[in-house]
Chains A and B, each alone.
Chain A
Amino acid sequence: AQSVTQLDSHVSVSEGTPVLLRCNYSSSYSPSLFWYVQHPNKGLQLLLKYTSAATLVKGINGFEAEFKKSETSFHLTKPSAHMSDAAEYFCVVSVYGGSQGNLIFGKGTKLSVKP
């Protein structure tokens, strides 16, 4: 069965410092993995996705994530945080691997950015 664990419920960084949001997954199939961002009272926006191509995935707004099969991890990083990055971030695995199906969400990590 597929599952996702986000290791931190809350991360706080200072503006201009690196961001690391951790995610571990469990999947019986070759997984498709995603990071979504949700700003307060808004819908979810896809940041980036991994679907068995390059293991280092670049997304929007300077975010990237690396798929590490040996560690079953898909951590999200950004070299320099911006105030506008403050939001909730969800690590997501697709139930059916690379094909269609429902998504399983982690519980989310709230990112705070201090000036």
Chain B
Amino acid sequence: NAGVMQNPRHLVRRRGQEARLRCSPMKGHSHVYWYRQLPEEGLKFMVYLQKENIIDESGMPKERFSAEFPKEGPSILRIQQVVRGDSAAYFCASSQAPGTSRYYEQYFGPGTRLTVT
């Protein structure tokens, strides 16, 4: 029973390049969340998606960041023209759909550590 999968685990990009982070939710989960963890900080919510729909993107920076969760395939967090300040650990979580008893329980992946040089 595979948990939440994220890849790559480590990603190095030069300033100005694009970063793509992938997240495959747990089997049976239809909701995905992205969080960012800066050094010495807790996780900060970025975006909440279900398949083909963004439910809440109130934590996403207005520029350069986007997220999708297509009908088929993993959820993608995309960062265009990366800057040094984007260096962080990015965590994905997934949960079941509304109406189930474990609706509120989010299961986290191992994270992608992005380093911008």
Residues of A within 8 A of B (CB): 32, 36, 42-46, 49, 51, 90, 94, 98-108
A43 to B6, CA, bound (A): 10
Interface presence of B18 (CB below 8 A)? no
Interface size bracket, B side? 20 to 34
Contact across chains for B104 and A51 when beta carbons are under 8 A apart: yes
Q: Which residues between 35 and 63 of chain B lie within 8 Å of chain A, taking CB atoms?
A: 35, 40-45, 48, 56, 58-59
Q: Is B111 an interface residue (CB 8 A)?
A: yes
Interface residues of B (CB under 8 A from A): 4, 31, 33, 35, 40-45, 48, 56, 58-59, 91, 93, 95, 98, 103-111
Between A and B, 17 residue pairs with Cβ closer than 8 Å are A32-B104, A42-B110, A43-B108, A43-B110, A44-B93, A49-B105, A90-B43, A98-B104, A99-B104, A100-B103, A101-B56, A103-B35, A103-B106, A105-B35, A105-B42, A107-B40, A108-B41
Q: How far is the CB of B63 from chain A (nearest CB, A)?
A: 21
